[in-house]
A = this chain, B = another copy of it.
């Protein structure tokens, strides 16, 4: 498959690009509002992989071109850029599954708190912004980006996957499972997004409160 990492020039995009290229046979395309930045970062990811003896080609494009002909598009952007990013690629998506990993949080009384938008969840915000016919799937929420991008780090993380389109959800779950150390788990329909998105502030609060813990993920057992 061709995986488009929209806004894939940040930490999450880097981690997903490196691990997808190392662990799977999928093609990865990096998107950005600025195509030159996309090309620069794609080249940097290639260099990182080349340094590990993995010879690969990653293209960088403006987001709409990255989304074009993608089999899965992952919006690797903060919640406040999500609607704009989706609208910018709307004409390229057709019926491509669109993955939303973003979470809304705010710091309040010294801790991170879940702070969903008015529509109930960030995943719902993505679904509202997506064109009709584009199945939106929530996944990859709250992955500690530094550890994700560190290919020496073993993850052992579960990734809850939510959505109303079973086919798109299965495609994304398979994609998660293809990355070493990640297990995709069905966590219900889009309506279950708040429970999934709320996990991220918990992970941050636990890491902040324990000197010996950092960059946490979760394993359900």
- Encoded as 1 (CB less than 8 Å from any B CB) or 0, chain A from 209 to 221 comes to 1100100111111
Q: Contact: B160 with A206, CB < 8 Å?
A: yes
Q: Contact: B191 with A206, CB < 8 Å?
A: no
The CB with the most chain B CB atoms within 10 A, among A218, A219, A220, is that of A220
Q: Does A205 contact B (CB under 8 A)?
A: yes
Q: Contact: A191 with B221, CB < 8 Å?
A: no
Q: How large is the interface on A (under 10, 10 to 19, 20 to 34, 35 or more residues)?
A: 35 or more
A189 contact set on B, CB distance < 8 A: 109-111
Which B-chain residue is minimally distant from A186 (CB atoms)?
B209
A114 contact set on B, CB distance < 8 A: 194-195, 198
Q: Contact: A205 with B216, CB < 8 Å?
A: no
How many angstroms between the C-alpha atoms of A185 and B196 in the bound complex?
A: 20
How many copies of the shown chain assemble into the complex? Answer: 2
A191 contact set on B, CB distance < 8 A: 108-111, 113
Q: Does A156 contact B (CB under 8 A)?
A: yes
Q: Does A182 contact B (CB under 8 A)?
A: no
Of residues 163 through 181 on chain A, the ones whose CB sits less than 8 Å from some CB of chain B are none
A196 contact set on B, CB distance < 8 A: 202
**Residue from B112, B185, B186, B199 in contact with A199 in the complex, judged by beta carbons closer than 8 Å:** B199
Q: Does A83 contact B (CB under 8 A)?
A: no
- Encoded as 1 (CB less than 8 Å from any B CB) or 0, chain A from 55 to 73 comes to 0000000000000000000
How many angstroms between the C-alpha atoms of A52 and B219 in the bound complex?
A: 31
Which B-chain residue is minimally distant from A157 (CB atoms)?
B221
CB distance from A123 to the nearest CB of B (A): 13
CB distance from A176 to the nearest CB of B (A): 14
* With known contacts A109-B189, A185-B213, A213-B185, A220–B195 Cβ distance under 8 A: no
Q: Contact: A112 with B206, CB < 8 Å?
A: no
For the complex with contacts A160-B202, A218-B220, 10 further pairs of A-B residues with Cβ separation under 8 Å are A110-B188, A114-B198, A186-B209, A187-B202, A188-B209, A192-B201, A192-B205, A206-B220, A218-B218, A218-B221
Q: Which 8 A-B pairs have the closest CB atoms?
A: A109-B191, A198-B198, A186-B209, A195-B202, A111-B192, A195-B201, A188-B205, A219-B219
